[in-house]
Amino acid sequence: MSNPDIRTPDPGRTELWKNAAEIDAAIARMVDELTVLLARQGIADPLMIGIHTGGVWVAERLHRALGLHEPLGHLDISFYRDDFTRIGLHPQVRPSCLPVGIDDRHLILVDDVLQSGRTIRAALNVLFDYGRPASVILATLAERTGRELPIAPDVVGLRARLERDEQIKLSGPDPLVLLRGQTPRKPAGKSDLKDARSTPEEDPRAGTGSDPETNRP
Amino acid sequence: MNTPNPQLDAQGHLKHFLTIEGLSRELLTEILDRAEGFLGVAQQAVKKVPLCRGKVVANLFFENSTRTRTTFELAAKRLSADVLNLNISTSATAKGETLLDTLHNLEAMHVDMFVVRHATSGAAHFIAAHADPHVSIINAGDGRHSHPTQGMLDMFTIRRHKPDFASLRVAIVGDILHSRVARSQILALTTLGVAEIRVIAPRTLLPSQVEEAFGVRAFHDLSEGVRDVDVVIMLRIQRERMNSALLPSEHEYFHLFGLTEKRLSGARPDAIVMHPGPINRGVEMDSQVADGPRSVILEQVTNGIAVRMAVMSMCIGTQTLNSQGRGEFLNG
């Protein structure tokens, strides 16, 4: 699980949000956008790095579709999370694996769901402990409301406007589908949670091409 | 668990690490899995993760050690903790301060973790029993009793070469009687469910009734003992034993119990050879073996840092949670 904001959904209240075909279409759009972006920035040979676990699944597909030469890197951000003092060690830690040195390289960082931005903050810190990349492009399968840090993706597959107590979670690796559910009860003291639930709204920015993504709740 | 284990909090999470005894296979496996994650930190250009930033770890070594103290210090530093090294023999204890006074003074400096080595068995348990509730104690070796992080780094090294514990035959060779390392290894190997544990030593260096007490097979002949084993763990022969009539002489010991390529030839072809260090070359093992292709002795040193990072971060994580009111935040 790569996103600290997304918790294991309550099994009773999880439902399919995007099916495999919709995810495939979103990834295909990301491939197109990445191709354009890389060409515009004159980047010939980028390194792609996926964030465990969902980000790696998405990155594997992008990596294959783009036909990148260098092997895919894996990043685990558990040791760099900002909530160790609140929730302790993350239960599952997989070793990070960056097979190619990142110094002076152009990186494509891939994650599944972008919400608060804290995962990406942590991932950037990990990367800079490995070296000094020339640039970092952020590609996320889904971007949702709820940003808490000034972090913006460069390439996005799907967009959703969700309530704070709603979450989306990537299930994979095969097939890749996005599930939607309620966030489990938060600890006391977080009084800003809304009691009323509403269906996710269509984000007008959803889909970036001429074929807007239909966000069916 | 029926009787509360002083190392665990009410939820069964590791709070202190004093001994392997009483810990479940799941918990030992969790330590090994976590260590796997920490191994990669050494590959980073900046060999540090911010996990324990702002925590203070005090190394309290009442007994000399270079490797253990250094790897604990490195482990703490790679977790971004601040480290105090207290050389007790030259400090307040030498001036008459009691152990508990030393402890309470350090607690007053808001130390979060003590790494303790002491010549008396039970010293780490004693300190854990008297320490402030927010402080974690790691046993870095107490008397003849326990050296749990050494035991776990050995398990970690074995697992990296031979992932299936259930199929393994492991031989431990040397001074089993006085060795806290051997005790921790035997407990860990038993908990992790290896097929067979052998101890190989002269009768004077084996505890009485070792087979019944530890569930191991005892051998007094090295070549016979290592036959078909997957792992050979050598123990350090301490020179003072030579003077205590338990052993004839270094030369004599090597002649009978020194590990040579020839004696090792009966072991499995892919057997690995381990030693907690420091090695007495030409006493417990031949240089040809120590530096040979089956030796994983230097890997053990590297792995020791990752295993100590795992244990330290688990204990500090538990303490942090308990001071915040656990449970509400955790969901698996």
Nearest CA-CA partner of B237 in B248, B253, B224, B223: B253
> Touching check for B120 and chain A: CB below 8 Å?
no
- B330 pLDDT higher than 60: no
Residues of chain B with pLDDT > 90, as a percent, come to: 77
- Residue B90 confidence (pLDDT): 59
Cross-chain residue pair A86–B324, CB shorter than 8 Å: yes
Question: 3-class DSSP state for residue B94?
Answer: helix
Q: What is the pLDDT of residues B219-238, one digit of tens each?
A: 999 999 999 999 999 999 88
- Residue A104 confidence (pLDDT): 96
> Touching check for A80 and chain B: CB below 8 Å?
yes
Window A:98-117, CB contacts with B under 8 Å: 98
Q: What is the pLDDT of residues B14-59, one digit of tens each?
A: 999 999 999 999 999 999 999 999 998 998 899 999 999 999 999 9
Upstream peptide bond of A53 is cis (omega within 30 degrees of 0): yes
Q: Where are the domains of chain B?
A: 25-146+303-329, 148-299
The CATH-assigned architecture of domain B148-299 is: 3-Layer(aba) Sandwich (3.40)
How close B316 gets to chain A, by Cα (Å)?
8
CB nearest to B45's CB, from A89, A93, A129: A129
Asked: is B25-146+303-329 a CATH 3.40.50.1370 domain? The reply is: yes
CB nearest to B328's CB, from A85, A98, A187: A187
Tens digit of pLDDT at every position of chain A (217 positions): 444 444 444 455 789 999 999 999 999 999 999 999 999 999 999 999 999 999 999 999 999 999 999 999 999 998 998 887 777 777 777 888 899 999 999 999 999 999 999 999 999 999 999 999 999 999 999 999 999 999 999 999 999 999 888 899 999 898 999 999 887 654 443 333 333 333 344 443 433 333 333 333 3
pLDDT band at B267 (very low <50, low <70, confident <90, very high): very high
Cross-chain residue pair A129–B321, CB shorter than 8 Å: no
Nearest CA-CA partner of A61 in A89, A27, A88, A32: A27
What are the b/e assignments for B208-224, b being 16+ CB within 10 Å? eebeeebebebbeebee
* Contact (Cβ atoms closer than 8 angstroms) between residue A117 and residue A149: yes
Domains B25-146+303-329 and B148-299 share a fold: yes
Cβ pairs A/B, distance under 8 A:
65
* Contact (Cβ atoms closer than 8 angstroms) between residue B224 and residue B56: no
> Touching check for A90 and chain B: CB below 8 Å?
no
Q: Which ipTM did the prediction report?
A: 0.70
CB nearest to A184's CB, from B50, B313, B331: B331
pLDDT band at B247 (very low <50, low <70, confident <90, very high): confident
